[in-house]
Amino acid sequence: MSTVEYALDNGGLFVLRMRAMSVIVSAARSLVKRHGGLRAAARATGIDAAYLCRLRAGLKLNPGPTVLLKLGLERTYRKRAGASV
């Protein structure tokens, strides 16, 4: 299972790293390709086709744990060096 990594910034907000975005986009593209199309992938996973389309395009960057699991991903958090929480 791949990891989507988030880091805490100095304000305590979760910051999505660019590599996490590319992992999500790659996973969504792979899922669609594996199922032979967007609608087939949506039916097979239960992810809304429009939402899956936005994930694949990189327009949605913070899917919930259920969607991440369906993409074969998991979320991890790591405190950035120098961050105060």
Angle at 77 between CA 51 and CA 44, to 5 degrees: 30
70, 46 contact by CB (below 8 A): yes
Query: For the chain (length 85 residues), average pLDDT per consecutive 10?
Result: 58 55 91 97 98 94 90 78 58
Sign of CA dihedral 46, 49, 55, 60: negative
pTM: 0.74
Residue labelled with tokens 């087939």: 40
Is 11 part of any domain? yes
The CATH number for 40's domain is: 1.10.260
Is 24 part of any domain? yes
* pLDDT at site 13: 47
Tokens standing for residue 52: 């899956």
Domain count, the chain: 1
Q: Which helix (H) or strand (E) holds 73?
A: strand 73-79
Is 85 part of any domain? no
Is 21 part of any domain? yes
What domain range includes position 50?
A: 2-79
